[in-house]
């Protein structure tokens, strides 16, 4: 491999820099969403997404069992399909395995993958197994969508309500509990277990898609924009706004947090949650919830149908900034930026 | 990662052993072909195949430029689609990249991939780029097939003619020339270049599929069984026979070899080609030709349509052995076995 330091190296420009340079090799119309869309017939589109996971970078036996690594890998890919409004058809699995890896590790990985997939009736359609010095997992998931009902990042409209499903920050908090088991002594063990489970066994929100389809078609078609919150809530809103050339205002108090966060804080603190918890919700990622932008009446219908499972957290605005607003006027508005999110290369 | 030696390790049972243990996680009907088939509608099936390629295991800058690594990776996946009788729709690309890899290496890889793909009008439908200690490439290719015309390994019939497209052994000979440039001094430089090109820029035989479809449907449907010869001609025939529970007899003299092999040998040797050349053709692999079994009249039609581009090399027989027969009766028949082929784990 060429390691001449006089060359521009991958670490110099990072994942985003490489992606930008490779875009010229891809059809422009398929870039920029959680998954690619390919028209098959007038009624059917194929939706495809792929993820690479590398031992020590994306998973680790220290915090995650092989079963949970398998579950999370499946869930992440199914979540990308849900983010596009697609129903899953199947996945393929590529495995790079060191010779000294325990066979039981591989079986336990598959056990976890299928536990997640079976919940959504998704088959593993084969794959490839090769020798590699580092355990590597490449999952490609494909789904089917109605070409007229595909959720994209680039179609958010000024005035749309911003809805999130579920709660945010739980996965990151669960990871923190795994890394530092001594913290949060005042939480019940069930509360800790729920946060840890949110990290280890996240659920892709495929259950929301039929409900969205219903709203989409009745009484007349509306525009639904969105993506999943796999890289954090802030990232999702910022990506949607950038792709749609709009801005947003988010109400900090409306961001749904795990109830255990509440218990951990004194009542006085609850209105001003410590920055750490807000960071978990905004930047923690891996909650695999949906962030959707749709006209306010449709948004209200969705909230009615999902009950406590969805929250309107803000509004799409003109301009290009994403503002976090607090109902306490003494707390200044905060502009969010992508640079606060995770960087994959360092 | 668990490296306790008391456990059964990946190297103890190899790629095949792992695959067998993981089969219980996959639907049984989709196992055993070059690609998985998923029914979408009565008229359309989705065909999916995936490959992992690891630096130092599957490619190397010593023998292969990044452009050629890209071309070969694309070609291998398109060949798997051709082997199923499918037309390609697109590919996804997962990349694991070390931080010190030259960005130009990645761009040149993509250049080679797209040079191959553009020949068949196949788009790259996005992918994933992650940090990894070792350069890793995961390609998933998608194709579309008529559910009534899918080429499988398991449907060969006793009496079928065995046809191969193209020539065999050229890719392996080209690799040998790259590894040992000093050999074969008596070959013209064009002949060497042709063998090297067969290794660096193999062509998936998607061109054969429309011709096969024509034969398949006229005058009445016939059975076509087969796969590609990516792991060698012997492997392909053995895999088809095992899946179809039949045997085969191959005529050694009918196996189409590169014409440059002829020139290298003395006339007397030509009827008894050195074992090395036969091994290249039978076990060398990566020629990405098709090995097909079909009724003799249809086989003759195919040979007429493809001209010198196809050869009948044998017949499907009862029993389970694959025999290599020489027209010189003093040379004993040889039973072929999968264990003579490449083993991916050592």
What is the secondary structure of A3-47 as a DSSP string? Answer: --TTS-BHHHHHHHHHHHHHGGGS-GGG-SSSSEEEE-SSS-EEE
- Answer whether B48 sits within 8 Å of A142, measured CB to CB: yes
Smallest CA–CA distance, residue A114 to chain B, in Å, is 7
Contact B58, A102 (CB under 8 A): no
Q: Was A225 annotated as part of a binding site?
A: no
Q: Two tokens at B37?
A: 């088939």
| Residue carrying structure tokens 């799409």 | A316
Name the residue of chain B whose CA is nearest to A47's CA.
B125
Nearest by CB to residue B18, choosing from A27, A103, A132, is A103
- Answer whether B124 sits within 8 Å of A26, measured CB to CB: yes
- Mean pLDDT of the region A4-24: 84
The model's pLDDT over B225-257, given as tens digits with 9 standing for 90+, comes to 999 999 999 999 999 999 999 999 999 999 999
- Mean pLDDT of the region A137-145: 95
Phi then psi dihedrals of residue B80, to 5 deg: -65, -35
Q: Is the pLDDT of residue A268 over 70?
A: no
- Answer whether B126 sits within 8 Å of A58, measured CB to CB: no
Domain positions in chain A are 10-145, 161-340
The model's pLDDT over B175-213, given as tens digits with 9 standing for 90+, comes to 988 888 888 778 899 999 999 999 999 999 999 999 999
Chain B CB contacts of A74 below 8 Å = none
> Who contacts A123 (Cβ-Cβ below 8 Å, separation ≥6)?
A90, A91, A117, B26, B27, B30
Interatomic CA distance for residues A244 and A154, integer angstroms: 4
CA distances from B109 to B74, B105, B116, B127, B174 (A): 10, 6, 11, 14, 20
Q: Is the pLDDT of residue A265 over 60?
A: no
- Mean pLDDT of the region A278-285: 90
Name the residue of chain A whose CA is nearest to B99's CA.
A11
Q: Was B127 annotated as part of a binding site?
A: yes
Best mutation target among B30, B42, B92, B122 (most A Cβ atoms within 10 Å) is B92
- The domain defined by A161-340 carries CATH number 1.20.1250.20: no
Name the residue of chain A whose CA is nearest to B43's CA.
A41
The model's pLDDT over B162-171, given as tens digits with 9 standing for 90+, comes to 999 999 999 9
Interatomic CA distance for residues A167 and A326, integer angstroms: 18
Q: Two tokens at A22?
A: 């490779």
Q: Was A67 annotated as part of a binding site?
A: no
Smallest CA–CA distance, residue A195 to chain B, in Å, is 25
- Answer whether A19 sits within 8 Å of B103, measured CB to CB: no
Q: Which residues pair with A47 in a beta bridge?
A: A37, A143
CA distances from A150 to A36, A61, A213, A222 (A): 11, 37, 10, 11
User: Domain B10-145's class?
Assistant: alpha beta
pLDDT, position A341: 45
User: Could you tell me whether strands B87-97 and A290-294 are parallel, antiparallel, or unpaired per DSSP bridges?
Assistant: unpaired
Interatomic CA distance for residues A132 and A129, integer angstroms: 9
Interatomic CA distance for residues B66 and A187, integer angstroms: 54
Smallest CA–CA distance, residue B297 to chain A, in Å, is 35
Q: How far is CA B275 from the centre of its chain?
A: 21
- Answer whether B52 sits within 8 Å of A133, measured CB to CB: no
Best mutation target among A40, A139, A140 (most B Cβ atoms within 10 Å) is A140
CA distances from A12 to A53, B107, B148, B314 (A): 21, 15, 51, 56
pLDDT, position B43: 84
The model's pLDDT over B97-146, given as tens digits with 9 standing for 90+, comes to 999 999 999 999 999 999 999 999 999 998 899 999 999 999 999 999 99
User: Could you tell me whether strands B136-145 and B87-97 are parallel, antiparallel, or unpaired per DSSP bridges?
Assistant: antiparallel
- Answer whether A51 sits within 8 Å of B94, measured CB to CB: yes
Name the residue of chain B whose CA is nearest to A346's CA.
B99
- Answer whether B48 sits within 8 Å of A105, measured CB to CB: no
Phi then psi dihedrals of residue A126, to 5 deg: 80, -165
Q: pLDDT tier at A65 (50, 70, 90 boundaries)?
A: very high
Interatomic CA distance for residues B291 and A162, integer angstroms: 55
Smallest CA–CA distance, residue A79 to chain B, in Å, is 15
Q: Is the pLDDT of residue A340 over 80?
A: no
Chain B CB contacts of A94 below 8 Å = 50-52, 94, 138, 140
Interatomic CA distance for residues B331 and A149, integer angstroms: 67
pLDDT, position A264: 62
Smallest CA–CA distance, residue B277 to chain A, in Å, is 27
Contact B115, B75 (CB under 8 A): no
CA distances from A120 to A46, A110, A123 (A): 18, 16, 9
Q: Which residues pair with B120 in a beta bridge?
A: none
| DSSP H stretches of helix in chain A | 10-22, 66-84, 103-119, 170-179, 189-200, 208-217, 233-244, 259-264, 267-270, 275-279, 296-306
Interatomic CA distance for residues B54 and A136, integer angstroms: 10
Name the residue of chain A whose CA is nearest to B109's CA.
A22
The model's pLDDT over A192-249, given as tens digits with 9 standing for 90+, comes to 999 999 999 999 999 999 999 988 877 677 889 999 999 999 999 999 999 999 999 9
pLDDT, position B266: 46
Smallest CA–CA distance, residue B171 to chain A, in Å, is 21
The model's pLDDT over B9-50, given as tens digits with 9 standing for 90+, comes to 999 998 889 988 998 898 877 777 778 898 888 888 999 999
Burial class (CB in 10 A: 0-12, 13-18, 19+), A6: exposed
| DSSP H stretches of helix in B94-138 | 103-119
Q: Is the pLDDT of residue A150 over 50?
A: yes
Most confident of A25-39, A59-73, A259-273, B91-105: B91-105
CA distances from B161 to B164, B250, B292, B319 (A): 10, 10, 8, 16
pLDDT, position B3: 46
pLDDT, position B220: 72
Least confident stretch, A79-88, A162-171, A288-297, A322-331: A322-331
Interatomic CA distance for residues B302 and A205, integer angstroms: 50
Q: pLDDT tier at A6 (50, 70, 90 boundaries)?
A: low
Smallest CA–CA distance, residue A324 to chain B, in Å, is 30
Q: Was A128 annotated as part of a binding site?
A: yes
Q: pLDDT tier at B342 (50, 70, 90 boundaries)?
A: very low
Contact B74, B125 (CB under 8 A): no
Interatomic CA distance for residues B256 and B165, integer angstroms: 9
Name the residue of chain A whose CA is nearest to B138's CA.
A138
Least confident stretch, A9-23, A132-146, A244-258: A9-23
- Answer whether A100 sits within 8 Å of B54, measured CB to CB: no
- Answer whether B54 sits within 8 Å of A96, measured CB to CB: yes
First to last CA, chain A: 20
Contact A201, A119 (CB under 8 A): no
Interatomic CA distance for residues B169 and A87, integer angstroms: 44
pLDDT, position A34: 78
Best mutation target among B3, B66, B105, B128 (most A Cβ atoms within 10 Å) is B128
Q: Was A286 annotated as part of a binding site?
A: yes
């Amino acid at each position: 491999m060429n390691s001449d330091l006089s060359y521009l190296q991958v670490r110099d420009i990072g994942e985003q820099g490489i992606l930008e340079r490779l875009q010229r090799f891809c059809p422009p119309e398929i870039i920029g969403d959680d998954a690619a869309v390919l028209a098959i017939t007038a009624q059917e589109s194929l939706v495809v997404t792929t993820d690479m996971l590398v031992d020590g970078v994306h998973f680790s036996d220290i915090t995650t069992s092989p079963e949970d690594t398998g579950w999370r890998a499946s869930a992440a890919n199914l979540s990308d399909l849900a983010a596009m409004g697609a129903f899953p058809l199947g996945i393929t699995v590529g495995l790079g395995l060191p010779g000294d890896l325990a066979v039981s590790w591989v079986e336990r990985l598959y056990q976890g993958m299928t536990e997640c997939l079976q919940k959504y009736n998704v088959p593993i359609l084969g794959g490839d197994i090769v020798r590699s010095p580092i355990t590597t997992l490449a999952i490609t998931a494909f789904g089917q969508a109605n070409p007229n009902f595909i959720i994209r990042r680039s179609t958010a409209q000024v005035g749309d309500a911003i809805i999130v499903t579920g709660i945010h920050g739980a996965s990151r908090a669960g990871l923190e509990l795994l890394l530092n088991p001594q913290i949060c002594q005042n939480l019940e063990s069930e509360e800790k277990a729920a946060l840890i489970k949110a990290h280890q066994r996240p659920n892709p929100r495929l259950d929301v898609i039929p409900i969205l389809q219903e709203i989409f078609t009745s009484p007349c078609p509306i525009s639904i924009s969105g993506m999943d919150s796999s890289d954090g809530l802030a990232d999702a809103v910022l990506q949607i706004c950038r792709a749609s050339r709009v801005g947003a205002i988010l109400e900090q108090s409306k961001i749904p947090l795990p109830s255990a966060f509440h218990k951990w804080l004194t009542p006085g603190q609850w209105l001003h949650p410590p920055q750490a918890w807000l960071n978990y919700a905004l930047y923690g990622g891996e909650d695999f919830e949906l962030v959707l932008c749709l006209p306010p009446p449709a948004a209200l219908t969705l909230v009615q149908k999902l009950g406590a499972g969805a929250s309107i957290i803000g509004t799409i605005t003109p301009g290009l900034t994403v503002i976090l607003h607090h109902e306490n006027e003494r707390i200044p508005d905060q502009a969010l930026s992508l640079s606060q999110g995770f960087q994959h290369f360092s």
